[in-house]
Amino acid sequence: MEQFEQSAMLKRLPKQFFANLVKQVQQLKKEGHDVINLGQGNPDMPTPPSIIKSLQEAAENPVNHKYSPFRGHHDLKEATAEFYKREYNVELDPESEVAILFGAKAGLVEISPCLLNPGDTILLPDPGYPDYFSGTAMADADIELMPLLAENKFLPDYTTIEEDVLEKAKLLFLNYPNNPTSATADKAFFDETIALAKRHHICVVHDFAYGAIGYDGEKPQSFLQSEGAKDIGVEMYTMSKTYNMAGWRVGMAVGNPSVIESINHIQDHLYVSLFGAVQDAAAHALTADQEPVREIVATYEARRNTFIETLQKKGVEIDAPPGTFFVWLPVPDGYSSEEFSDVLLHKAHVATAPGNGFGKHGEGYIRIALLDTEDRLQEAAERIARITKEN
């Protein structure tokens, strides 16, 4: 049979680091082991009933049985603007400052080919969400990594970036609350970022996927709450985490009109927008009573407290994460991230994500997702503590 060679662009795409973990978990389950899978970031709770009902009703509307407008329903753009005004006191023009996305991941991958040419420079966090590298590979851009270190509260230290790198850089990615470190950022940090971006004519992309998930009474900061943010960047929001709509694949990019137009332009050629009923349901979610969101966040906070308190009672030193549904746990001395993750999987039957899968500076950590019941998370913490103390 004829073999057709992949394009150079496809060959540049990174391999899926976590595919092997999924296979190992499946194999252990087949063998009858009780595996607690905390290795992936897929929300485990159902979508709130009112959103499902909204989808059901919208699916019956014949208007939604046709192709949607290429650039999405105006109602969803209006709902996004209403959401940002209500939640962050940020004004958005629904037509020029909002783009509808097939989930935030699509926007995060698309934006690099939109704005970068081969050889252009992008600044990426290390550790960071692996799909940031996908769009960069498609654009054939050069990557400069910004280490996220514990001593700097997992924020990039811009003073360590060489001036010539800043002059070449065209894009800068940030993500707070952060995957995988669970760190949060304040207004002062975003103000600093905007000043830097303006000096060097860099477009900032803020991945706000975990924007709703902050703890201890603290509401995570939107990048757009800082003055001048729309002048130099965009924020990517998703329904996946806030509303447990991961499988629905709907998100939005908001901010700088020229960047929004670029995203819309590439999507004109890739898609014919989202199923209209999904857009209607997303608009309902954004504008309806937000009590389901508060309940979701309260559930994650209770899970965090149970998990962290169990570890601490068992003698594991760790601080409670301020946001996301992840725990960024240092590995014991003498282990690499992959070695400790492997020991936990095969000896404790707890699946975690090794930190080096998120970048060089993720080495020395594992990422744990709080995506199971409190009872199961308590059991997982006890198993992890037992293995940690044994070593």
Q: Is 230 exposed, middle or buried (0-12, 13-18, 19+ CB in 10 A)?
A: buried
- Find the mean pLDDT for residues 298-306: 97
Give yes or no: residues 206 and 271 share one domain: yes
- pLDDT score at 133: 92
* Residue 40 DSSP one-character state: S
Indicate the pTM of the whole model. 0.95
Give yes or no: residues 238 and 343 share one domain: no
Give yes or no: residues 158 and 258 share one domain: yes
Give yes or no: residues 244 and 382 share one domain: no
Are residues 25 and 35 in contact, defined by beta-carbon separation less than 8 angstroms?
Answer: yes
Q: Which domain holds residue 16?
A: 8-47+292-390
Per-residue pLDDT of 192-210, as tens digits, reads 999 999 999 999 999 999 9
Per-residue pLDDT of 341-374, as tens digits, reads 999 999 999 999 999 999 999 999 999 999 999 9
- pLDDT score at 28: 80
| Torsion angle, alpha carbons of 174, 177, 179, 182, to 10 | 130
- Find the mean pLDDT for residues 80-101: 97
- pLDDT score at 199: 97
* CA atoms of 129 and 209, how far apart (whole Å): 11
Q: What is the CATH number of the domain that holds 22?
A: 3.90.1150.10
SS3 34: coil
Q: Using the CB atoms, write b or e for 356-383: b if 16+ within 10 Å.
A: bbbbebbbebbbbbbbbebebbbbbbbb
Count how many domains the chain has: 2
Per-residue pLDDT of 208-247, as tens digits, reads 999 999 999 999 999 999 999 999 999 999 999 999 999 9
Residue 20 binned pLDDT confidence (cut-offs 50, 70, 90): confident
- Find the mean pLDDT for residues 369-385: 96
* CA atoms of 74 and 99, how far apart (whole Å): 10
- pLDDT score at 284: 98
Q: Give yes or no for residue 391 having a pLDDT over 80.
A: no
Residue 29 binned pLDDT confidence (cut-offs 50, 70, 90): confident
Mean pLDDT of the chain: 94
Angle at CA 275, nearest 5°, toward 272 and 205? Answer: 65
Query: Could you say which of 287, 306, 335 is where a domain stops?
Result: 287
pLDDT above 90 covers a percentage of the chain that reads: 85
Residue 19 binned pLDDT confidence (cut-offs 50, 70, 90): confident
Provide long-range contacts, Cβ within 8 A and 24+ apart, for 31-35. Answer: 33/349, 34/349, 35/345, 35/349, 35/350, 35/351
Is residue 55 in a domain? no
Give yes or no: residues 359 and 238 share one domain: no
Give yes or no: residues 275 and 131 share one domain: yes
